[in-house]
């Protein structure tokens, strides 16, 4: 009996040791890092301040080489984020990058609009930014807004099908082999218009070009599955090309920020709307980082841990979630709730956690909460 108890005790100690070791190896990352506020000062002070707060990785897009080398020498990983199809600053110079919705209307200038992902002539510029980050010495690059547009960071997301610009329609037709009707004579009579009178008098209709909205309607009615597959292939193809930039740089990590939706949510909007098929993407990605902003989405804390497990099972790849701190008066997160979110995000099989983001974390005076939870 004693021998059994002794063996059980040894097994428990070994198990606890492995758990402790796994915890010690987890990533404790800070997104939006800048050497200011509590991290300002000399190189030594910056490194010391990060270590005192148990931060062993930072996401910093603008960091001078000397400070980057100082952090990496101290064992602190330095990663970069590249916004792939996000933002709308490029619309002014390249108006053709502005996405078009299923009504044939260009998107308004609002957060989350992004650029049209199918404009492949623009890809080399984005891929070039990834190469620059790798050449600059970053330990890895995370792709952000690697998807088709639509605003999801709210309890009631605003979802729409994009993009139906002329370039996309031509690319879809070429990729799928599907000829899109161009006028009222060649179009299927069922898709002439949402107008019973027009259907009844089809023969008397004069030939006219189809509007963008009519072409979009025809595609979504007759070739909906082909359209969704096409969107997924566009996103996956870009990530594949991005991964090729890492071929000659062993040890560098390619991460992906993904929309935190399961396949059964919003009628498979993760692939149908955004074009993110993690089952296809996993062949080209080293780490998946679901954006688990529980307060923005109006979700309970348990949602964080549950989604990490779901993503790990689905992708069979490391999962490093990114969670939010308090993001100002409109998005309050109490200290207790923030601490609980961190601990939940760290539960196995999580590889750690990324905190979004330094500025609001410091403004909300939640750095001490972070330090206590990570300790």
Residue 12 is assigned to a structural domain of this protein: no
Q: C-alpha distances in angstroms, 38 versus 42, 51, 79?
A: 12, 12, 20
- pTM for the model: 0.90
Residue 313 is assigned to a structural domain of this protein: no
Residue 58 is assigned to a structural domain of this protein: yes
Instruction: Quick: pLDDT tens for 302-327.
Output: 999 999 999 999 999 999 999 999 99
Residues of the chain with pLDDT under 50: 1-21, 189-200
Q: What is the pLDDT of residue 206?
A: 76
Q: Which of 347, 42, 84 is nearest to 235 (CA)?
A: 84
Q: What is the pLDDT of residue 305?
A: 98
Which residue matches tokens 């931060």?
A: 55
Query: What's the number of domains the chain is made of?
Result: 1
DSSP 10-39: HHHHHHHHHHHHHHHTSEEEEET--S-GGG
Q: What is the pLDDT of residue 158?
A: 84
Q: What is the pLDDT of residue 108?
A: 86
Instruction: Quick: pLDDT tens for 259-279.
Output: 999 999 999 999 999 999 999
Q: What is the pLDDT of residue 354?
A: 98
Residue 7 is assigned to a structural domain of this protein: no
Q: What is the pLDDT of residue 156?
A: 87
Q: What is the pLDDT of residue 202?
A: 53
Alpha carbon of residue 18 to chain centroid? 31
Domain around 147 = 30-306
> Residues 345, 304: contact at Cβ < 8 Å?
yes
Question: Rounded to 5 degrees, what angle do the CA atoms 214, 218, 220 make?
Answer: 115
CATH code where residue 228 lies = 3.20.20
**Residue 328 neighbours by CB under 8 Å, 6+ apart:** 360, 363
Q: What is the pLDDT of residue 24?
A: 63
Q: What b/e sequence results for 258-291 when a residue is b if at least 16 CB atoms lie within 10 Å of its CB, and e otherwise? A: bbbbebeeeeebbbbbbbbbbebbbebbbbbbbb
Residue 165 is assigned to a structural domain of this protein: yes
Q: Helix, strand, or coil here: 357?
A: coil
């Amino acid at each position: 009996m004693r021998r059994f108890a002794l063996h059980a005790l040894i097994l428990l100690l070994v198990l606890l040791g492995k758990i402790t070791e796994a915890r010690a190896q987890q990533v404790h990352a800070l997104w939006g890092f800048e050497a200011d506020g509590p991290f300002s000062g000399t190189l030594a002070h910056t490194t010391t301040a990060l270590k005192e707060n148990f931060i062993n990785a930072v996401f910093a897009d603008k960091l001078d080489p000397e400070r980057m080398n100082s952090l990496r020498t101290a064992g602190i990983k330095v990663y970069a984020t590249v916004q792939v199809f996000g933002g709308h600053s490029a619309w002014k110079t390249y108006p053709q990058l502005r996405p078009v919705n299923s009504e044939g209307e260009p998107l308004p200038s609002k957060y989350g609009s992004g650029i049209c992902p199918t404009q492949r002539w623009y890809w080399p510029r984005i891929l070039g930014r990834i190469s620059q980050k790798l050449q600059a010495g970053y330990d890895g690059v995370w792709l952000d807004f690697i998807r088709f547009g639509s605003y999801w960071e709210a309890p009631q997301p605003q979802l729409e099908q994009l993009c139906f610009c002329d370039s996309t329609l031509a690319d879809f037709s070429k990729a799928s082999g599907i000829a899109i009707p161009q006028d009222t004579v060649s179009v299927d009579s069922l898709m002439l218009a949402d107008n019973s009178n027009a259907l009844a008098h089809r023969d008397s209709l004069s030939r006219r070009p189809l509007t963008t909205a009519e072409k979009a309607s025809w595609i979504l009615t007759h070739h909906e599955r082909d359209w969704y597959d096409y969107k997924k292939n566009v996103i996956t193809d870009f990530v594949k090309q991005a991964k090729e930039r890492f071929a000659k740089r062993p040890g560098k990590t390619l991460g992906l920020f993904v929309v935190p939706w399961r396949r059964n949510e919003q009628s498979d909007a993760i692939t149908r709307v955004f074009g993110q098929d993690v089952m296809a993407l996993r062949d080209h990605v080293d780490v998946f980082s679901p954006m688990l902003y529980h307060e923005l989405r109006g979700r309970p804390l348990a949602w964080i841990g549950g989604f990490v497990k779901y993503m790990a099972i689905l992708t069979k790849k490391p999962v490093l979630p990114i969670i939010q701190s308090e993001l100002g008066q409109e998005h309050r997160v109490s200290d207790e709730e923030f601490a609980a979110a961190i601990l939940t995000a760290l539960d196995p099989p999580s590889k750690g956690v990324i905190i979004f983001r330094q500025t609001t974390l410091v403004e909300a005076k939640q750095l001490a909460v972070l330090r206590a939870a990570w300790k």
